[in-house]
Structure 1
Amino acid sequence: MNSLIQRAYNFNAGPSALPLEVLEKAQQELIDFRGTGMSVMELSHRSAAYEEVHNHAITLLKELLSIPDEYEVLFLQGGGSLQFSMVPMNFLKPGEQAGYIMTGSWSEKAFAEAKLFGDPYHVFSNKESQYRRIPQFEELQYNPTDAYIHLTSNNTIYGTQWSDFPNTGEVPLIADMSSDILSQPFDVSKFALIYAGAQKNLGPSGVTVAIIRKDMIEKGNANIPTMLKYSTHSKNNSLYNTPPTFGIYMLGEVLNWIKELGGINTLGERNKQKAKLIYDVIDQSNGFYVGHAEPESRSLMNITFRVNDEELEKKFLSEAKLEGFVGVNGHRSVGGCRASTYNSVPYETCKAFSEFMIHFQNTNR
């Protein structure tokens, strides 16, 4: 890559940073993909060259997450937001109940869609305290006859994250992992379905990954549009129609990068170290910076905080932008500051931001 190019300190909440090594490889292969004389964007999705890309990405994801054989990996479109509808459309019948664990805005959006198809209810909600924490397992009250339980594993707006997941027994557990999939080790077998938009931790926007247990596919509602059935995509290896081929290629290259880095265990430790750089500044600032999430619920992916004076906060965000830090404004619905430290954000970027925070505090006491 041109050495004159200055890469931004990218804390965008999504689409987010991608590994430089992946971008450079994509640049090299952009015009002639592995001797085909075509870009990967020009390949037929029925060609052997593309099929190899497609299947390699599936195989790598299964390997990195130790996905059991009774699960399938699907590549879908429409982002996590379409899954808010697709989940109840497939698995929630009129008159049936499904439990939703409410930990932020994305849980609210998923719940609103479920109301169109059945009778969802709140297993837990702490909206009144501005979603500052993840519930304890004993706080989760649900029915053994529920069609499923739904949770959001990481909350980008409020900066909270599940560090472990409940065992819901015979009730299928479904998770939106759009903003923290592959950020730390977890047990896939606790879930009946995991879905995740790729644009935060897996690759560019346009691809949605679904990891679904085969018995759930069989339970899906048959009387819905073809493209909205998980079974359609399962039967066709996610090739029923033209998939986002370039996005899947990039996803595969990000997974290659994760494997070469040492896999999910290495990545999880790296993410802890990155987040600690910034949380330590907040905790040691004597109230100059105020974190939103309660410490035991803090996200490794989205660090949310305020500067203790409104005018100073505006100055902080303005100076951060001048110093090359991109995307550190909090979500428009809550304001404040947010550093999104997704998998591909380098340690050096987080270190530079922590040093900027310390400098800003020292010069604005």
Structure 2
Amino acid sequence: MKKINFNAGPCILPREVIEKTAQQILDFNGSGLSLAEISHRAKDFQPVVDEAVALIKELLNIPEGYSVLFLGGGASLEFCMVPYNFLEKKAGYLNTGVWAKKAMKEAKLFGEVVEVATSADKNFSYIPKGFEVPEDLDYLHVTSNNTIYGTEMRYDLDTKVRLIGDMSSDFLSRPVDVAKYDMIYGGAQKNLSMAGVTFVIVKDDALGKVTRQIPTMLDYRTHVSKGSMFNTPPVVPIYTALENLRWVKAQGGVEAMAKIAKERADLLYGEIDRNKLFRATVQDAEDRSYMNICFVLNDEYADLQQEFFDYATSKGMVGIKGHRDVGGFRASCYNAQTVEGVQALVDVMKEFEANH
């Protein structure tokens, strides 16, 4: 039976990206050595980093004056590195859920943190709008897509202060006006690569503005100056990122990714809204994530939850159980997910409805 991967992360990757990575793990560029055992300073590996950086800049149309980094530690380490490098007195955070709260917690170690707006009153089931951003902030931090709750900001805010975005789970899924941001970062294990590498896009002249001394490894300037090679980077995940970036470009770039993301989302949300058994946890269509589609059984059918999960699993659907903070179900539809895969889930939902 064909398995259809709806895991929230680590998640689905294009099959050809997996196969090409596997080939290089066996024999990297015909060297007789595995990609997993070569030096990051080997002459054949530097071109991997260079091409990956160039492709990110090309795909997102990144203006001059920005550096692209590949680091370790995941987005969770960036929660600390961001305020270390940017927070002098006061920072603002848009609180849209667990990951935003974790980022705020770390920032409070370095200065005053202002919650500019929150959707906690409705369990983060919407994106706050119409909030004012204090002009005395060192930066405003936003989480563009919230994997747990199924909300997404498919737009780039206009602010008078530095804007920093955690784009862990919708990176490369839509065009982004990078010029509006001083920094964009995220874990790669959604739309960029396998787990183990973190991407950072940072405006060079935004660095070095805080008065505190920053430890060497936590200073973005260290990694900018060494092209992500100050210490041993995660070699295999960077190579997978390269193959995935090549794949995105071959599909038509982020514009094509955005088009298919909408097609997948329209298909699945359409069925959720039609099907008498289910309802979406995010009601406002503008706030609904295209990456993480969350839904629950209507109250009168709540006792069917385990039965539907077992039925969907028996039909090859993998990873559709919702996060414990929301419950129900979650179908994560990252770039490598196909419309056919989503249609298969829709068919399962229709069959289950007919059975009841």
- Structure 1 length-normalised TM: 0.94
1:154 maps to which of 131, 140, 145: 145
Q: Give the percent of matched residue pairs that are identical in Structure 1 and Structure 2.
A: 45
Structure 2 unpaired stretches of 5+: none
In structure 2, what is the Cα distance between the partners aligned to 1:7 and 1:104? 34
After superposing the two structures, state which structure 1 stretch, 219-228 or 154-163, moved more: 219-228
- Hey, what's the Cα distance between the residues in 2 that align with 1:7 and 1:174? 40
Q: Is 1:360 aligned with 2:352?
A: yes
Choose from 239, 243, 266 the match for 2:229. 239
What code does the residue aligned with 2:111 have?
G
The aligned counterpart of 2:84 is: 89
Instruction: Write the mapping of 1:10-159 to structure 2, written as runs, cut at 5 A.
Output: 10-93=5-88, 96-136=89-129, 139-159=130-150
Judging changes above 3 Å, is the alpha-carbon distance between structure 1 residues 173 and 69 closer, same or farther for their aligned structure 2 residues?
same
Match of 1:178 in 2: 168
Tell me whether 1:211 sits opposite 2:204 in the alignment. Answer: no
CA distance in 2, matches of 1:300, 1:110: 23
CA–CA separation in structure 1 for the residues paired with 2:154 and 2:92: 20
Distance 1:48 1:220, change over 3 A: farther
- Once the two structures are superposed, residues 48-70 of structure 1 have per-residue CA deviations (whole angstroms, 9 ceiling, x without a partner) of 10001111111111111111111
User: For residues 85 and 7 of structure 1, do their structure 2 counterparts lie closer, same or farther at Cα, with a shift above 3 Å needed?
Assistant: farther
Separation in 1, partners of 2:329, 2:210: 41
**Which residue of the partner structure matches residue 217 of structure 2?**
227
How many residue pairs align between the two structures? Answer: 353
Residues 252-331 of structure 1: pairs in structure 2 closer than 5 A: 252-286=242-276, 288-293=277-282, 294-308=284-298, 309-331=301-323
Q: CA deviation at 1:222?
A: 5.4
Separation in 1, partners of 2:58, 2:219: 26
State the one-letter code of the partner of 2:179: S
Query: How many angstroms apart in 1 are the aligned matches of 2:240 and 2:166?
Result: 21
Shift in Å at residue 7 of structure 1? 4.6
Unaligned runs of 5+ in 1: 1-5
Root mean square deviation, CA, Å: 1.2
Shift of 1:334: 2.3
Question: Deviation of residue 218 (structure 1)?
Answer: 2.9
CA–CA separation in structure 2 for the residues paired with 1:90 and 1:221: 9
* Structure 2 counterpart of 1:213, one-letter code: K
Distance 1:268 1:231, change over 3 A: same
**Pairwise CA distance, 1:182:** 0.7
How far the C-alpha of 1:275 sits from its partner, in A, is: 1.3
Q: Is the 8 Å Cα contact of residues 220 and 230 (structure 1) preserved in structure 2?
A: no
Which ranges of 4 or more aligned residues in structure 1 deviate by more than 3 Å? none
Letter in 2 for 1:280: G
Deviation for aligned residue 1:221:
5.5
Q: Shift of the alpha carbon at 1:298?
A: 0.5
The counterpart of 2:324, out of the listed 289, 312, 332, is 332
Q: Note the C-alpha offset of 1:126.
A: 1.5
Corresponding letter in the other structure for 2:279: V
| Equivalent-residue separation in structure 2 for 1:304 and 1:315 (angstroms) | 18
How many angstroms apart in 2 are the aligned matches of 1:107 and 1:88? 13
CA drift at 1:10: 0.3
Residue 168 of structure 1 deviates from its aligned partner by: 0.7
Q: Give yes or no for contact 1:221–1:229 (8 Å, CA) kept in 2.
A: no
Secondary structure of the residue aligned to 1:124 is strand
Q: Deviations over 1:27-77 (max 9, x none)?
A: 233221112111112221111100011111111111111111111101111
State the alpha-carbon separation in 1 of the partners of residues 217 and 341 from structure 2.
40
| Match 2:157 to one of 144, 160, 166 | 166
Q: Say whether the 8 Å CA contact 2:133–2:159 is kept in structure 1.
A: no
Q: Secondary structure at the match of 1:265?
A: helix
C-alpha distance in 2, partners of 1:40/1:208? 19
